Amino acid sequence: MSTAGRLAAFAALLALLFGGGALAGAAIGPAPAGDEEAAVHGGAEDAAHSAPDPVRGLGVAANGLRLAVADTELRRGRPQPLEFRIVDERGRTVRDFEEEHTKRMHLILARRDLTGFQHLHPDQRADGTWTTEVTLREPGSYRLLADFARGGEAHTLASDLRVDGRADLRPLPAAAATAVSDGGYDVALDPGAAGPGEEADLRFTITRGGTPVRTEPYLGAGGHLVALREGDLAFLHVHPTAQGTATDPAVVFGATFPTEGRYRLFLQFQHEGRVHTVAFTHEVCR
């Protein structure tokens, strides 16, 4: 074939390929503007990652981190050390943590029937091990939740502890609008009317002898609230929205209850230099 013939054949081939590509493009159609934006920014998936996860603490490992407890078998009724580490995917001990609610590590303990609640702040050794002293007075299975922040993200990892002896499990108390704290303060809860999947404003009003109490700062806010779901003891993200003023001393938290069911709320507040704890059962219905 002559040089001119070869060039003509090549040009015809290019025309064929270009025409096929144009037809394919027309069949598929241009990407909608919304899809293009989602490809650049990650769309709803990025938004989900940037928002706080309403439920945490369902597993011993998540997001490349794992909770390693030195000894999960404890003796009841006596002080004893509790040691644990946070390790990465390679088993290396994690040492860098960020302050969240003024502390680098929050440790929550609760028995499976949601009694025996404790909120502790362990110390970290040079090798990265966290340690604290605990006393668990009742036998049974306890949930340990390590709540911390790292790399700008909040994490809650969980493990089970076992305290020797036969456990006398108690039913969850019925939901009530009022409760008495361990220091004798009367606390009233107004949970609003939010259903599952909706953010609720949980409003706590504290009185002593009929006089409203304005709480002192505790862990950087007017109080600290832990919410655990009955059954799996899922740890809910809760954030303070109002810490009380002279004219309105109520302490308010925002929380999203993801499912119907019952939740146990543990409010801790400080007054006259002492931290008090009060618990409520909150039932979420549609």
13 has pLDDT over 80: no
pTM of the model: 0.81
How many CB atoms are located within 10 Å of the residue 230 CB?
15
Instruction: Give alpha helix (H) positions in the chain.
Output: 3-28, 33-41, 43-50
For residue range 148-183, list pLDDT tens digits in order. Answer: 999 999 999 999 999 999 999 999 999 999 999 999
Instruction: Give alpha helix (H) positions in 123-183.
Output: none
22 has pLDDT over 80: no
Question: 277 and 225 in contact (C-beta within 8 Å)?
Answer: no
201 has pLDDT over 90: yes
d(CA 175, CA 199): 19
